[in-house]
Structure 1
Amino acid sequence: MALAEEMRFGFGRNWAEFVDTRLSDAAIEDSRRHMAGMLRLDDFRGKVFLDIGCGSGIHSLAALRLGAEHVISFDYDPDSVATTRRVKSFAGDPPNWEVFQGSVLDAAQMASLPKADIVYSWGVLHHTGDMWTAVRNAAIPLKPGGDFYIALYSSDNYVDPPPAYWLDIKRRYNLAGPLRRRLMEWQYAARVVLLPELKAGRNPLRAIRDYGLRGMAFWTDVRDWLGGWPMDFASLAETQAFCRHEFGLTLVNVKAGQGCTEYVFADPGLSARWAEIEATRALIPLSGPFTHVGGCQYAAGLPGLEAVADSNEQPQRSRLMLYEDGVMLGLAHSVHAHIARYGGGRFSHWGPTLSFSSSDGSDPNTNGRTYAYCERF
């Protein structure tokens, strides 16, 4: 923990720069739309929203604009707290928005908070130095029947190169001077955006300009990623099992395929909204035989769903969910090479084709299991 504290990245300074240069109504609207979509809610009226690791405060403000009755925002980083307070002032200093410094690792503090209908923590809990304790404590203020919405860096996606590679990059970035950091940022941007966009025949500078994940800015997220320390990774299976065993919560929505996997956990037995949504998720049998593409990868045609599938222009569009023996596999939007090489239930709904792997990499034509999909998870 001493090394983690010594090298801890200053997220707050990063978010302060974002607020200074990029905060806009459009960015807040992107965040508002994204949260509402993941939670399948039109508004947050009558709800208490807890933002753990509030960073810039943009998501707290989005919750307020969704009509939340009470917004509670806290962060370990004093610069993030100051930035969130600035955003609160930008919003007119609403009296139902509370901002303070705190730590999710402080179980007593978490127990002292008001009970929340929505507990939200995006890309934070894995930066505490004790991720599973952070996840456990984050659920302390959750109301029965509430929504537990967290995002954790995914070990499912970081396989080539693996997490150990990125942990080394993060150590070197935090130890580097300003010029070396800028060089590492451009090297990263070239690897993940500039070269792939050029190879696809698109303008890479447009991709950077139009970047808008949850209202964030491209270079803000690059620095956030490279600098993020301390750091842990978690797989979808690990996170799902932890929340089921620790809290008795069901994974009711998930968005995978990017650096962070987003999870919404709830108890459909206590949430009429999620019970109704779950009841509408009809499973459509997937008929074989499946074409063996290579390695663990198999393919099935879904030509009728091409209009809602992923594409070069919209690589995260599909909301299709794949099930094996009635169990959600979850790892959507996977890279095809990773499906073939690593299996593990990875899948991709791309164009007219569903490319997928079984949970253990076995042949879905002969393993005796059934496969089905839900069109709009």
Structure 2
Amino acid sequence: MDDMTTLRQMRADAPVPDRAALAPGRRRLTEAIADGRRARRLRADWRIAAIGAAAAITAAALLTAQIGDASGPSQGGVAAAKPLTLSSPAEVLNQAADALEMQQAPPEPRKDQWIYTRTKTVEQKPQGSSSAAGRSSFNPDSRIPDSPESRRVFNNLNSRISDSPDSWVPYDNSAAAKKGKDDDYRTSLQVYRAANKLPDDPARLLEKVRSFYPTGHTAEAPPEAEAQHSFRAMGLMIENYPIAPDALARLYRALATIPGVEVTDHLVKDAAGRDAIAITRKEDGSHQQREILISPRDYSYAGIRFVAAEDYEAIFMPGTELPAEKHKAGEIITSTARVSAAVVDAKGDKP
């Protein structure tokens, strides 16, 4: 028995669709096909096309639900959307950029407004360590990073973590920027405006971003190789809030061109337990890889993770009397998720 016959026999008593109800849709479709110029005009206006696509999706969902109702209990009713193809960073990031370029940017925040963020940070318990698993704060002060480049990352990450998951920072935080909060600190206003001026060409864009977040020049923060510098600097700019959709699209397209960048072939979990796309690169001279996490729903920044790229043993500062930490490849060393972000009018306001 073929599939169509099986389908027909599932509910032979189901009522035939009312032709009168289907007529208006059939007439509009016929007119659109007959008038090529009108069809071209519809395609030229993405807003009208989006409305048409939404209507088509709604109709398909209703049809699927009706089939489910007619044939007994359904497995969720609506058919799943086409899954992400996590085969290459270029494919994923260009797909994200295409979607972002369709979005309209909200107005830039006023200088007197504040940026509210809520984050969650966890540090996994390593093998052979008695440290508590799933700690909500990360304090790497006692650990010796396994490379000079990692030391810069840990120092800057540590300076941004507070006891409270909620944070309010002035959009125009010029006073903190002048004091040199940390080597990589830029105000939200500075990043927002710099991102809007970035060129389309990926090579020129990466050069601009590296200049915006310079590499180190001391023993504590030594110079980085170009690819390492690019990935670190791009992560810093991408995590800024807010950032215009078209600017983020340009950043994603350039991010895919950095040597050594990969994408995990499955969705991972961020520190808040949400699904995320992991764009990764192994840290130079390190046993770890840095992962920029992106939401698969709207392609916004979701967080950052540091993951063991191989089995290794981490040591501690002399005098801490702590055992060495043994890490297995694939183990999450630390993970930070941005749970919420918004522009608010005053410190203490929440969306």
- TM-score under structure 2 normalisation? 0.23
Larger-Rg structure: 2
